[in-house]
Amino acid sequence: MSTGTGLITLVVTILGLGVAAQVLADRLEIPSVLFLILAGILVGPEGLDIVGLEAFGGPEALSAIVGLSVAIIIFEGAFHLKLSKLRQTPREAFRLVTLGAGIVLLGTAITIRLALGASWELSFLIGALLIATGPTVITPILEVVPVRDRVAAALETEGIVNDVTAAILAVAIFEVVVGSGTQLQLLVTSFISRLGIGILVGFLTAGILWYLLNHVDLSPSNAVRNSRLIVLIGAIATYGIAEGIASEAGIAAVATAGILLGNVDMPYEDEIAAFKGDITLIVLSFVFISLATLLSFEDLLSLGLGGLVVIIAVVAVIRPVAVLLCTYGERFSFREQLFMGAVGPRGIIPASVATLFALELRSSNPETVTASSPDAATVLVGTVFLVILTTVVLQGGFARHIAQTLNVLPMRVIIVGAGRVGRGLAERLEDRGENVILIDKDQEQVEQARTLGFTVHHGEGADIDVLRSAGAENAKIVAAATGDDDSNLLVAQLTNSNFDVATVIARVNTPGNASAFEELGVRAIAADESIAQSMDNAIERPALSEWMTELGRTGDVQEIEVTAENLVGMQIGDLDTELPDGVLVALVSRDGDSQIPEPDLTLRRGDHLTFVGRRDAVHEAIERCHPELHG
């Protein structure tokens, strides 16, 4: 009875703290991993000493619990990794999970060898574990830091794939650590075989699950519940089968199965995803708190100055260099590259695998290990958890501040219609650094836009679910730019009635239809009138027309509202002296009236300033005058 009571107390304590951590994290918009680790330390031997290793039934029982939990977490993260995301950054994502992983592995191993004096085998083991960022720490950050979709896609892809890479590679290296010397052939063979077994098992089980969900009568009254249970049991079975063949092959198996099932047509997909998300939150809480109870401050402090050197190298040198090398090109701005390099927190895979390895090292015979077991275990756990704590606190906790400082929080714009007009508008907006998502039902247009590097959702733009999946709930602008007025009108109606969008703008192909759009409060742009106005400018005002054309290529026009205290009460003449070269204040709008400003005009709160000039100069002027605009 006492054992049962103790187990109930253990589970209730951990799950209760987990729920509290999740609620607090949502309230403060900080990744929950930070609070989960702190909760584990609080109830562990370093805190109140309520929970310890013996409460879980020993190392083997804890290993099984953690293994199954990690399988569910990885499966859930992989399930949400859509091929449409992978297409947004195919080259960069591939470099991050190959070249980037290699740079982190080698750089971290060398740093640990030099800073901590660890053996090469142990150094590479820790380096392999610290490759992993993972969806458990990246996804919560991206939920509160709305960067461009392509930035999020690259970070999410890296997290999923590198979790698998880190787990399998670490196991392969660990075999060398506990073996009789460095054997490169053994290492390579072990890695490839585990990866191959995992992928094969993942393919087979995903196929079986897909068949069951699509072709087996699951009883209409309980179809949703049965579908969710089948997927959950299928994920656990996938992990168990692969693990039975080769240890840590289960991670690759569930990742493969999750990606495959997440990208095929399945009944009740939304319900399955919601159910798995809830299960994952519970499992994540249990794993992180459980592992954190095993954390020893003595292990962290034993690293001394060398530990600080490792942290600085991993956070400030190795990660940024890897990202810069892997994301070169025109797809990401330099500021976005810096953000990606500054945000790479480590999570569940390093914590769980390092803990289990350390338990095995401490219980092993030192004569059978290539490094001193107690020292190896201390360095392993201390280094991994030190990196996790530091990156979660600094990079996770301050991710939004980092994004604001680097100005990588763009305005989300949804454009329905990926034809010439839609792509032309998207190109102009992306040149300004905005987060643009195109929607089109024509697969050919979708592929053409993706080839040009745009983020595109395939679907009917006049479908509320498609708009929601593209992020309409967080969009500031929705533009209907198809060649069909009826479709554009329906998009405008759906947006106005279902989403809180600041600006809805629509292309009008037949001038007589403009009034229907204006009655909805939609800004209507008539194609014929726009063309006529442009041609009239070219005839009557050729210099102005040429200047406007050139402005579209290299310049910019931006309008901001005066809310900053440093602008209120300032005269235009004084403001001009503070602006960078290549930009001027063209208009001041006040109470609905616009005027070309005189030098002695004093600015008031609520005035609107229109900046005109070179694109970089306009953006610098906005940062100087209204830095919180992008926050």
Residue 181, phi-psi category: left (phi > 0), alpha (psi -120 to 50), beta (remainder):
left
Residue 41's Cα: distance from chain center in Å? 27
Give residue 364's pLDDT. Answer: 57
Give residue 110's pLDDT. Answer: 95
Quickly state the pLDDT bin for 108 (edges 50, 70, 90): very high
Q: Which of 100-104, 245-249, 412-416 has the highest mean pLDDT?
A: 100-104
C-alpha pair distances (Å), 481 with each of 302, 443, 468, 549: 62, 17, 18, 21
Quickly state the pLDDT bin for 527 (edges 50, 70, 90): low
pLDDT tops 80 at residue 521: no
Unique residue bearing structure tokens 């992306």: 430
Least confident of 232-246, 277-291, 563-577: 277-291
Least confident of 285-294, 376-385, 476-485: 285-294
Quickly state the pLDDT bin for 322 (edges 50, 70, 90): very high
More confident residue, 116 or 469: 116
Q: Which of 236-245, 373-382, 423-432, 532-541 has the highest mean pLDDT?
A: 236-245
Neighbouring residues of 532: CB distance < 8 A, sequence distance ≥ 6: none
Quickly state the pLDDT bin for 104 (edges 50, 70, 90): very high
**What digits encode the pLDDT tens for the residues 36-62?**
777 877 877 777 777 766 666 666 677
Mean pLDDT in residue range 235-261 = 86
Quickly state the pLDDT bin for 310 (edges 50, 70, 90): very high
For residue 391, give both structure tokens: 């990156």
Please give the full DSSP string across 417-453, using - where no structure is assigned: --SHHHHHHHHHHHHTT-EEEEEES-HHHHHHHHHTT
Give residue 309's pLDDT. Answer: 94
User: Beta-strand (E) ranges in 46-178?
Assistant: none
174 in Cβ contact with 125 (< 8 Å): yes
Give residue 562's pLDDT. Answer: 77
Least confident of 92-96, 115-119, 359-363, 557-561: 359-363
Neighbouring residues of 78: CB distance < 8 A, sequence distance ≥ 6: 160, 254, 255, 256, 257, 258, 259, 262
Whole-angstrom distance, CA of residue 251 vs CA of residue 200: 12
Mean pLDDT in residue range 144-171 = 84
**What digits encode the pLDDT tens for the residues 595-605?**
888 888 888 88
Quickly state the pLDDT bin for 630 (edges 50, 70, 90): very low
Average pLDDT, the chain: 79
Give residue 509's pLDDT. Answer: 83
Give residue 406's pLDDT. Answer: 85
**What digits encode the pLDDT tens for the residues 446-495?**
888 888 878 888 888 888 888 888 888 878 889 888 888 888 888 888 88
**What digits encode the pLDDT tens for the residues 330-374?**
788 888 899 999 988 887 788 878 877 877 776 655 554 444 445
pLDDT tops 50 at residue 8: yes
Give residue 631's pLDDT. Answer: 41
Give residue 544's pLDDT. Answer: 56
Give residue 368's pLDDT. Answer: 47
**What digits encode the pLDDT tens for the residues 561-618?**
777 777 788 888 888 777 888 788 878 888 777 788 888 888 888 888 888 877 777 7
Neighbouring residues of 158: CB distance < 8 A, sequence distance ≥ 6: 93, 96, 97, 100, 133, 138
Q: How many CB atoms lie within 10 A of CB 465?
A: 10
